Copies of this chain bind each other. A is one copy, B any other.
Amino acid sequence: MTSSESILRGDRLALARLLTKVENDSPDGRATLIELFPHTGKAHLIGVTGAPGTGKSSLVNQLALHYRKAEDKRVAIVAVDPSSPFTGGAVLGDRVRMRDLSGDPNVFIRSMASRGSLGGLAQATANVVQVFDAAGFDIVIVETVGAGQSEVDIARLAHTTLVVEAPGLGDDIQAIKAGILEIADILVVNKADRPGVENTEKSLKSMLELAHPTTRVFKHHGTYMSMSMPESNQNANLWIPPIQKTVSTEGKGIPELVAAIARHVQHLRSSGDWTLRERTRLEVELEALIRDSLMTKFREDISSQQYEETLEKVIQRNISPWEAVRMLLNGRLK
């Protein structure tokens, strides 16, 4: 039986082996990815992001548990840690997860740390997600640590992006929200039993109104809800991110969050945004692969001596990097 057949039949050991190959970008792993590609496109990809200290990992655990118990979905978790470029900080988180989720054959957890470049990590994550998709996992949750461009890159992978906040995380938080708000499909205020939760909700509410001028956010049964104002009713397909409160350590607010995610999927399907996001995702992936292939070909074509000599001229400030590129590319085309 080939590797891809084993994966499609749900062989867990074959899956674990393939994930390692795919992460290392081995030729063998690549070949299996190509075989599996026609079987992808079915999973719901959920991105979970937010600043450190918001309790993302336990929230993801609770989401996975809920999808298992209440909906009998198969769930994969990809924990991406771009802040650990050299050592694996994510590994620690895994052990905590294991207590709740281990032993369930319909849950699979994979941690990934950065390997050299963010571009490399985004590509490796995309490939790992494809493997889980082909292997028949209904839900693939991609969780990222930190607050930066990495989130934006990972969010491009997901159908639904959750941005997690928590009360009392310091004074720079406002600045982060401003940027990250625009990738959020659902805003989660976790640790909602902590003091300051009202302030966190209020500031998210006003940022939402700022970002969506035709929106008013109101409180309904203790939760902030958002509603488009009449003048924007012509755009019925507009999605305003709802604010969901959770206490993930106690499982509070998880069913409501899952319901909000389901509403977002309905919105994506009815508005055509699901197809649009799939298209964008594959286009970004294709472009990244083209870039890598062109660079590989360049390295094959140029002599390392020629490259080193040109680099040395740049270091000596004899030529600028731009002139160096022109020389290298011209030399190659002759």
Contacts and interface: CB of A to CB of B under 8 A. Distances in A.
B176 A37 contact: no
Contacts of A325: 286, 289-290, 293
Contacts of A30: 322
Contacts of A298: 290, 294
A175 B286 contact: no
B52 A84 contact: no
A170 B53 contact: yes
Nearest to A329: B293
A278 interface: yes
A9 interface: no
Contacts of A328: 290
Interface in A22-62: 30, 33-34, 37-38, 40-41, 51-54, 56
A242 interface: no
B150 A150 contact: yes
Contacts of A147: 52, 83, 145-148
Interface in A111-137: 113-114, 117-119, 121
Contacts of A314: 282, 286
B289 A175 contact: no
Given A290-B295, A311-B283, A320 B179 contact: no
B321 A87 contact: no
Contacts of A38: 317-318, 320
A290 B329 CA distance: 8
A322 B289 contact: yes
B295 A82 contact: no
A153 B82 CA distance: 12
A279 interface: yes
Contacts of A92: 175
Interface in A204-219: none
Interface string A290-322: 110111011000000000001100110111111
27 contacts: A34-B323, A37-B317, A37-B319, A37-B320, A37-B321, A38-B317, A41-B317, A51-B51, A82-B149, A83-B175, A83-B180, A84-B175, A85-B152, A86-B179, A89-B179, A92-B175, A93-B175, A118-B149, A145-B176, A148-B150, A169-B170, A282-B321, A283-B311, A286-B311, A286-B325, A289-B324, A289-B325
Given A89-B175, A89-B176, 13 more contacts: A34-B320, A52-B169, A52-B170, A89-B174, A89-B178, A92-B175, A118-B149, A146-B148, A149-B149, A169-B170, A279-B315, A286-B321, A289-B322
Interface of A: 30, 33-34, 37-38, 40-41, 51-54, 56, 81-87, 89-90, 92-93, 113-114, 117-119, 121, 145-153, 166, 169-176, 178-180, 182, 278-279, 282-283, 285-287, 289-291, 293-295, 297-298, 310-311, 314-315, 317-325, 328-329
Q: 10 smallest A-B Cβ distances: which pairs? A: A53-B170, A52-B172, A84-B179, A37-B320, A118-B149, A89-B175, A148-B148, A146-B148, A294-B294, A34-B320
